[in-house]
Structure formats: structure tokens, C-alpha cells
């Protein structure tokens, strides 16, 4: 089995959904037919412990480390790079390094703490192009077990003073989709769909699989549904859109057709919290909408931020939110 490693749940979220991975009795370990997906939490120690346990429990043939990293060498934010060699820095450089089979020129150095100041980032930049907290540990376990190892890193930010952990966390779903798309491009074998409908535009591996899954769910719900007609309605008057836009429109249309109540809930919550969105305030609701509470996060860097937040909270009608949780979707 292939072992896919992530440090954080957000990075792994799209993989878990896409591959329909099943949770196990072990926290952070999920199974598919051919893979073990591991979420170790950040840090070399957590990663070593988790991966060693998995390699002892399952017949692992290779380890793939995926996740975000900070740039130490002006690399393009949002781009994904294969890693050539993994280093480790713990107060001083550890010269036990591990290389992959990649012909990349990008090296990664793992640390035991987050890089939040420019002086530390500059020190690390003498050894590698990017920095994370896990890849070296993954490489060490793979080397110890005689397994193939590869690592692919999405550049989330420039390491140093400008690192904003909350911004990175809020973009985790976006990062996960990018990583999954990249992973699918590397592993181009895709299961044949259980239907014969041909998607009428070019689509990425990720979106292709997602559309096929939606079609299969729709046909399972109602075998008489005419998929061709759904696509015609979804793409009506959309001839000026490119293939990527058509894929997004089709996915949204099929998703809403499959579960119209979810779209209604999404629209209602957007209306309830519209003033928060204007003020760049992030809203986090209970996943199952069972708790009468929500969490807000924002950045405060001047008095205006504070004043705007106070006004937004004063104008917010909690009773409207309460009514929504009790089933009132007509806001």
C-alpha cells in the first residue's frame, strides 16, 4: 500500500473526500483500497512516531509526503515543487540528509519550530530553498524501512516576519484541491466510470472524477435522469466560458440538483453573515449545525479594524441566526 502523509487535516481534506477514505480506530489514519492516508500533526517527532507505527501495521511500499512549505528563495507562491533532498535543522544543521529520485533542484529543510522571523529564515536559506516541519522525518522513516520516498510541496508564503498562520489555515481547502489535482496528474490511472456519458469539454483529472461521482450519485437516486439535459441546462448561455469555468459551473449545478437543501443553507448563511464578509471577518459554523454558536477570526492592525468589528457585532441579529438553526431558511 502507498502511504500518503499530511501534517494537517486541512491539507488532507480533499483527498479524504475524493478517495472516500475510511477512518480507523487510530486517530489520523484513514484507509482506501490501495492507500493509507496519514495526518500526523506538525513536527518531526509526531511524524516519525505516526509513520513508524503505520509501517509496522500495514504493508507499505512507498511514502509520499504532501503539504505546504514556506519559501526561503523567492519561489512562486501557490506553485507546487517536487523535493530533491530533505535536511533537518534543530538549533544547528543535522548533516544526515535524505534524497528522493526526483530530478528537481528544490531542497527542503525541516525544523522543530515555525519560521516567524527573517533572521531565522535567512539562516535556513543557506541550506535549502523551502522549509517545513515534516518532510525530513518522512524521508528518514522511508530510508529506515527501505521504501521509495517522494515529497511535493505547495508554497504557501515567504517564511519569516510576513508569515500569517491564520491566513494559511483559512486557505487549507484551496491548498488541498491544488495538491490533489497535482497528485492525480502524477498518477493518471483513473477508475472507469459506471456510466457512458462523455463530459462535453476538457476537464482536469480532479474535476473529471468529481463530475463522474456526482453523475453516479444522481443516477443512483433516479436512474431515469437525463444527464445530457442537465448539462445543457447547466451550460446554457455559457458559450463564452472557458473549460475550467464550465467545469466549475457544471459541478455546482449537479451538486445543487443532487442536494438542493445544501444550496439553500449556503445562500441563507451568506445572507445572515454578509456584513462580516464585507469586513474580512472569517466565520466558522458548527460542522453539523447542531450547536448554537459560531466562531469569528480576523486581523486587527489599526483602530478602524476594531471600530468596524464593534459596529458589525452591534448590528448583528442573533435571533435571525437562532431562527435559521431552528429551520427557518427564508431570511
* Residue-wise pLDDT tens digits, 109-134: 999 888 988 999 999 999 999 999 99
pTM of the predicted protein model: 0.66
Quote the domain boundaries for residue 172: 2-186
How do residues 217-273 score in pLDDT, each as one tens digit?
888 888 888 999 999 999 998 888 999 899 999 998 998 888 877 778 888 888 898
Q: Where is the domain boundary, 214, 234, 258?
A: 258
Alpha-carbon span 150 to 100, nearest angstrom: 6
Same domain, residue pair 110 and 233: no
Handedness of CA 183, 181, 44, 38 (dihedral sign): negative
Number of structural domains in the chain? 3
Same domain, residue pair 64 and 80: yes
Same domain, residue pair 140 and 63: yes
Pair 109, 87: CB distance under 8 Å:
yes
Domain with residue 98: its CATH number is 3.40.50.1580
229 domain-assigned: yes
Whose CA is closest to 316, among 305, 328, 308, 326? Answer: 308
Beta bridge partners of 296: 283
330 domain-assigned: no
How do residues 56-83 score in pLDDT, each as one tens digit?
999 999 999 999 999 998 899 999 999 9
Alpha-carbon span 62 to 147, nearest angstrom: 5
Amino acid at each position: 500500500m502507498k502511504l500518503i502523509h499530511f501534517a494537517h487535516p486541512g491539507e488532507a481534506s480533499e483527498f479524504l473526500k475524493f478517495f472516500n477514505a475510511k477512518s480507523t480506530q487510530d486517530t489520523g489514519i484513514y484507509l482506501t483500497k490501495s492507500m493509507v492516508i496519514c495526518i500526523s500533526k506538525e513536527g518531526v517527532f509526531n511524524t516519525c512516531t505516526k509513520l513508524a507505527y503505520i509501517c509496522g501495521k500495514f504493508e507499505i511500499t512507498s511514502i509520499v509526503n504532501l503539504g505546504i512549505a514556506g519559501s526561503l528563495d523567492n519561489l512562486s507562491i501557490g506553485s507546487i515543487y517536487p523535493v530533491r533532498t530533505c535536511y533537518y535543522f534543530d538549533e544547528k544543521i543535522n548533516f544526515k540528509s535524505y534524497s528522493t529520485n526526483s530530478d528537481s533542484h528544490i531542497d527542503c529543510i525541516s525544523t522543530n519550530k515555525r519560521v516567524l522571523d527573517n533572521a531565522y529564515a535567512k539562516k535556513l536559506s543557506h541550506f535549502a530553498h523551502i522549509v517545513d516541519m515534516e518532510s525530513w522525518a518522512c524521508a528518514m522513516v522511508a530510508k529506515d524501512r527501505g521504501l521509495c520516498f517522494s515529497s511535493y510541496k505547495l508554497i504557501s508564503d515567504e517564511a519569516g516576519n510576513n508569515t500569517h498562520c491564520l491566513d494559511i489555515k483559512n486557505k487549507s481547502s484551496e491548498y488541498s484541491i491544488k495538491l490533489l489535482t497535482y497528485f492525480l496528474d502524477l498518477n493518471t490511472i483513473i477508475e472507469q466510470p459506471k456510466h457512458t456519458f462523455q463530459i462535453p469539454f476538457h476537464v482536469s483529472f480532479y474535476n473529471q472524477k468529481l463530475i463522474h461521482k456526482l453523475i453516479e450519485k444522481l443516477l443512483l437516486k433516479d436512474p431515469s435522469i437525463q444527464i445530457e439535459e442537465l448539462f445543457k441546462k447547466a451550460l446554457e448561455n455559457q458559450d463564452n466560458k472557458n473549460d475550467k469555468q464550465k467545469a466549475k459551473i457544471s459541478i455546482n449545478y449537479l451538486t445543487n440538483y443532487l442536494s438542493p437543501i445544501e444550496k439553500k443553507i449556503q445562500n441563507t448563511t451568506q445572507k445572515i453573515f454578509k456584513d462580516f464578509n464585507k469586513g474580512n471577518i472569517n466565520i466558522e459554523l458548527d460542522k453539523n449545525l447542531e450547536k448554537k454558536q459560531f466562531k469569528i477570526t480576523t486581523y486587527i492592525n489599526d483602530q478602524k479594524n476594531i471600530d468596524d468589528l464593534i459596529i458589525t457585532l452591534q448590528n448583528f441579529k442573533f435571533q435571525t441566526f437562532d431562527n435559521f438553526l431552528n429551520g427557518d431558511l427564508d431570511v
